[in-house]
Amino acid sequence: MREPDSLHGSTVDLAAACADVLERVRAHAPRVHCITNAVAQSFTANVLLAAGARPSMTISPEEVGAFTASADALLVNLGTFDADRREATDTAIEVATEEDLPWVLDPVLIDRSPPRATYASALVKRGPRAVRLNHAEFAALAGAEPQAETLRRYALDALTVIGLTGETDVVTDGARLATIRNGHALMARVTAMGCVASALVAACLAVERDGWLATTAALLALGVAGEGAAAHARGPGSFAAEILDALYRLDRDTLVARAKVQ
Amino acid sequence: MREPDSLHGSTVDLAAACADVLERVRAHAPRVHCITNAVAQSFTANVLLAAGARPSMTISPEEVGAFTASADALLVNLGTFDADRREATDTAIEVATEEDLPWVLDPVLIDRSPPRATYASALVKRGPRAVRLNHAEFAALAGAEPQAETLRRYALDALTVIGLTGETDVVTDGARLATIRNGHALMARVTAMGCVASALVAACLAVERDGWLATTAALLALGVAGEGAAAHARGPGSFAAEILDALYRLDRDTLVARAKVQ
Amino acid sequence: MREPDSLHGSTVDLAAACADVLERVRAHAPRVHCITNAVAQSFTANVLLAAGARPSMTISPEEVGAFTASADALLVNLGTFDADRREATDTAIEVATEEDLPWVLDPVLIDRSPPRATYASALVKRGPRAVRLNHAEFAALAGAEPQAETLRRYALDALTVIGLTGETDVVTDGARLATIRNGHALMARVTAMGCVASALVAACLAVERDGWLATTAALLALGVAGEGAAAHARGPGSFAAEILDALYRLDRDTLVARAKVQ
């Protein structure tokens, strides 16, 4: 264990604050509208339901506005970068901005596709409350390797929260920086695990205005659930089911006891 | 247990008639063509396969006609209300009508989207053999809260069968009304559970001309399978796998013994 | 057990060569770009991850070229025959041909759709390293029932490898012919099982130039994993998770000991 971070009080306090956020998700069952890729849709909906949120998924340009307007948070995932989803995204962000709804950007695989990276940069300018990504995606977005300093600077410049996932997760709004050392290697063997992390961030943002705390709560919950799942799993197939079960059953005491966050 | 419904003989008789329908699904392996949303496609196909039916899923306008013509029943699910699916739906319903194939309408989330509700009402006029929906969706479709009387009247006016799912399921064709008190709360924590119920209705309609009996059989089977699944599940992830297993293994004796239908 | 096939040395030698291919998949983690149908996308990605490969799935015409160019193999699955996927397919095959990347064709359900069958025949002319299909699909493609002689002749004429799956799998390049008697009946009760077999063929082609050996390795691995999964499964739901676990854990000794290939 590292030393507690003096900025945020003890590790236990931060974990307890995260547990509060998750309890509010269960209590309020926020509606999360998800513009996401077809690979991730089903698992994303199931993760949100397991956590106590209510997902919707339409990308039809004719109705994405109404769905977003009646939602509590929005997820914009670039995993399939097609014309329909771009049009839906434009409408949904417009509505979210008007309604002051928080939204999360997940710039999936922008390191593999220059036009997608350009599009992601344009979306960052439209004010996501948080951006959840991995190392290669951050490098493609920020033009710099992800380190404490580059993450902080990007978050400050973009006025957003960066939630970087990997062996260690890092969450920063430029001022504060949390590190989460939970999770399990099997999480990288299940498709869309990053996508569902972003969806969980959206659910937490729906009930917590502090984007840094909401993002930390989401990534911590998924990491602790992943460890619980790995204890029962025999491989990535059973792990995918177990992590839903673990998230569904995750209680305050377990979260606080297992949290490796600071 | 309530009193048996005198219209349909005893509860045991109705459960036995439902078991007959499910056995015919296994014996005939009907082809069910599904126009459904991307969130639901994989789980829907797996539920149909577990029950013994043969799913197909294309929405390509160029070939949806051929797939429908060689199918035994059709599912029209409005979970993604995009232009492609509307065009495919139009063609598929036309072919189904020509070929006298039964089809099911699932007006997913029409309470969240006025244009989708308008579209659903127009589809009801085209003669679905059954409409499977939840309370909020019925209210949006019928302009009235779902109660025995409003359900009966809607079914009579629309010349269809209404399959309302919720804590208690209700199935009516206007004349007859079945209530099913099976199922489990975890069913609401797995995405597309309503969508798969509708697909199972389509599979039963393929082998049973009486739409009221077919719809009752489908909802009863899913409810009993859900109870069996919950006995083994530790959360919604394992539950989703267990309900497929339970449906696959569901036998006549179990169905009749556990049925709470009348 | 049958006699070893004298052309390829003993059965054990062929199984060992297959095990080598799978070890190279794990060692090199090849990138497999998949143009596949929405029903299959999530399971396909999870099978590739379980086997140690890295999937990508976009079908956006603007970026499918970049994804293919940075991939090690390509899967073209016709499960949804829509205009977007046809455009993406055209671009992806062009790039794969330029870059000398191996690609696999999976002509899903062409027996149900004449325009899809015509399209599949045109794609065969563009040089897939392998074609993975079932009996009805081969009959629709080749105009002949699948027998050793018709399979050999089609493979020779088309200069490709045919991987026919069914109760017994057959793999031939015209000169050599392998039969695989592994697998389990539950594989037919999980949607997209054929699709994931084709994806696994693509992963093996990425690390093995001999298309016949790569295809044999992929189908053998899935068959042996399926048998392992069936030993633990209670139905098709648990089976789908177990086969991912079994594929993830499959080691050389198990593969060689259980292989019924010659």
From chain C, the residues in CB contact with B242 under 8 A are 237-238
pLDDT band at C3 (very low <50, low <70, confident <90, very high): very low
* Confidence at residue A82, expressed as pLDDT on a 0 to 100 scale: 79
Q: Assess contact for A88 and A95: CB atoms under 8 A.
A: no
Cβ–Cβ gap C240/A237 under 8 Å: yes
Task: Report the residue of chain C nearest B64, measured CA to CA.
Answer: C113
Quote the CA–CA distance of A24 and A45 in Å, as a whole number.
Answer: 18
Q: pLDDT of C197-252, one tens digit each?
A: 999 999 999 999 999 999 999 999 999 999 999 999 999 999 999 999 999 999 99
Task: Report the residue of chain B nearest C44, measured CA to CA.
Answer: B42
**Candidate from B45, B58, B244 with C-beta closest to C80:** B58
pLDDT band at B10 (very low <50, low <70, confident <90, very high): low
Task: Tell me the C-alpha to C-alpha distance, in Å, between residue C69 and each of C98, C100, C102, C116, C130.
Answer: 9, 10, 12, 26, 19
For chain B, which chains pass the contact test of at least 3 CB pairs under 8 Å? A, C
DSSP one-letter code for A261 = B
Task: Tell me the C-alpha to C-alpha distance, in Å, between residue A155 and each of A8, A15, A261.
Answer: 18, 22, 20
Interface of A with C in 144-163 (CB under 8 A): none
Q: Any chain A CB within 8 A of the CB of C248?
A: yes
Mean pLDDT value across chain C: 94
Judged against a pLDDT cut of 90, whether residue B207 lies above it is answered with yes
From chain A, the residues in CB contact with B230 under 8 A are none
Structure tokens at A243: 């992590």
Three state DSSP letters for chain B = CCCCCHHHCCHHHHHHHHHHHHHHHHHHCCEEEEECCCCCHHHHHHHHHHHCCEEECCCCCCCHHHHHHCCCEEEEECCCCCHHHHHHHHHHHHHHHHHCCCEEEECCCHHHCHHHHHHHHHHHCCCCCEEEECHHHHHHHHCCCCCHHHHHHHHHHHCCEEEECCCCEEEECCCCEEEECCCCHHHHHCCCHHHHHHHHHHHHHCCCCCHHHHHHHHHHHHHHHHHHHHHHCCCHHHHHHHHHHHHHHCCHHHHHHHCCEC
Structure tokens at A166: 């990997």
Q: Any chain C CB within 8 A of the CB of A36?
A: no
* Confidence at residue A10, expressed as pLDDT on a 0 to 100 scale: 58
Q: Assess contact for A224 and A255: CB atoms under 8 A.
A: yes
Sign of the torsion formed by the C-alpha atoms of C24, C25, C30 and C36:
positive
Q: pLDDT of A194-238, one tens digit each?
A: 999 999 999 999 999 999 999 999 999 999 999 999 999 999 999
For chain A, which chains pass the contact test of at least 3 CB pairs under 8 Å? B, C
Find where tokens 């969508």 sit. Answer: B195
Evaluate whether ipTM surpasses 0.95: no
Structure tokens at B69: 């013509």
Rg (CA), chain C: 17
Quote the CA–CA distance of B43 and A52 in Å, as a whole number.
Answer: 20
Cβ–Cβ gap B57/C43 under 8 Å: no
Instruction: Report phi then psi at B147, rounded to 5.
Output: -135, 165
Quote the CA–CA distance of C237 and C228 in Å, as a whole number.
Answer: 15
pLDDT band at C84 (very low <50, low <70, confident <90, very high): confident
From chain B, the residues in CB contact with A46 under 8 A are 190-191, 236-237, 240
Judged against a pLDDT cut of 90, whether residue B83 lies above it is answered with no
DSSP one-letter code for A133 = E
How far apart are the CA of A65 and the nearest CA of chain B, in angstroms? 9
Quote the CA–CA distance of A187 and C260 in Å, as a whole number.
Answer: 33
**Length, in residues, of chain B:** 262
Model pTM score: 0.95
Candidates B34, B35, B48, B248, partner chain C, best to mutate (most C CBs within 10 A): B248
Q: Assess contact for A246 and A211: CB atoms under 8 A.
A: no
Quote the CA–CA distance of C138 and C247 in Å, as a whole number.
Answer: 27
* Confidence at residue B173, expressed as pLDDT on a 0 to 100 scale: 98
Q: Any chain C CB within 8 A of the CB of A234?
A: yes
Three state DSSP letters for A79-107 = CCCCHHHHHHHHHHHHHHHHHCCCEEEEC
Give me the mean pLDDT over the B99-111 stretch: 97
Judged against a pLDDT cut of 60, whether residue C4 lies above it is answered with no
Cβ–Cβ gap B45/C114 under 8 Å: no
Mean pLDDT value across chain A: 94
Q: Any chain A CB within 8 A of the CB of B82?
A: yes
Instruction: Report phi then psi at A148, rounded to 5.
Output: -50, -45
Structure tokens at B255: 């169905």
- How many CB pairs below 8 Å do chains A and C form together? 88
DSSP letter string, C176-236: -EEEE----GGGGGSTTHHHHHHHHHHHHHTT-S-HHHHHHHHHHHHHHHHHHHHHH-SSH
User: A14: alpha, beta or left, given left = phi > 0 and alpha = psi -120 to 50?
Assistant: alpha
Percent of chain B beyond pLDDT 90? 89
Q: Any chain B CB within 8 A of the CB of A51?
A: no
Cβ–Cβ gap B41/C39 under 8 Å: yes
For chain C, which chains pass the contact test of at least 3 CB pairs under 8 Å? A, B
